[in-house]
Amino acid sequence: MKYRMLGGSGLRISEIGLGCMSIPAVDVDAGMRIIHRAIDLGINYIDTADIYDKGLNETLVGNALKGKRESVVLATKVGNQWKNDGSGLKWNPHKDHIISAVEKSLQRLQTDYIDVYQLHGGTIEDPIDETIEAFELLVREGKIRHYGISSIRPNVIREYVKRSNIVSVMMQYSLADRRPEEEMLELLEQNNIGVLARGSLAQGILTGKTAKQYLGHSADDIANAAAVVHKLSNESGASNPFSKKRTSVQTAIRYVLQHSAVAAAIVGVSRLEQLEEIAVTSDIDPLKEQELRLLESSITALKFKEHR
């Protein structure tokens, strides 16, 4: 496993991060095995959120990290809040909620501090300074070490870059969603803010699932990109002109890791077999320039049209 610095945090994190949302809540033992195996494979970035399985995901992570806490960089998120009747979520970026929510997350995670506490969304209408004030207070109190945001909204990201001390931005980024390349990745790299890329497999449509419309791309666009990913991999009889031993899943993730702004690809897994395949990606050679150009030419890079 290779490691990269997460922005200006001083935290050295694995290129592959474990996204815990997909870990099955109904099988605690299976979930524990996934987390333990991830750590054995060198994955030290563990990502969850307070709303996943209404807090049960954090509880699972906390139980799995007993005796292992110091070996991982633990991240969770705040901002969404379950309604009292459990019927859905409401958005709450206010200071009092963040201060209250962190105590519950610390308890469920069975830890005294969170390494990276992330705002789980955000809009330009939020009381951004109040939200930042809450995070800064938690840093001073030692309850969190650093904070970041999870957002794909350019206007929100720019405000946090200007007004806060975020060390990371988690955003959707894949060969099928190249919008961050247009403007966000360079901005964040220039400001020493690490990118945590999620959705690098584009719901599997780049790596074996039936192609479908995705964002502004047609099913044919996606099928073409998936075909190139497959061509540049060695699986199921595919002939890779560059003779690289690599699956389509690994090729898709390597595309994301190729950009220097990206600190890690955060990938969700629900089975041990998936974890084994994904973790090995870090040890595979980077894409050659010719491979990168072929992938880029397989699908148009769209631009962010909303939240300007």
Q: What are the beta bridge partners of residue 80?
A: 91
Residue type, 286: P
In whole angstroms, what is the distance from residue 142 CA to residue 88 CA?
31
Say whether 173 is catalytic.
no
In whole angstroms, what is the distance from residue 187 CA to residue 190 CA?
5
Residue type, 123: T
Cα 65-69-74 angle, rounded to 5 deg: 90
Catalytic residue among 45, 52, 147, 214: 52
How many C-beta atoms lie closer than 10 Å to residue 208's C-beta?
A: 15
Sole residue written with tokens 């961050």: 180
Active-site positions read 52
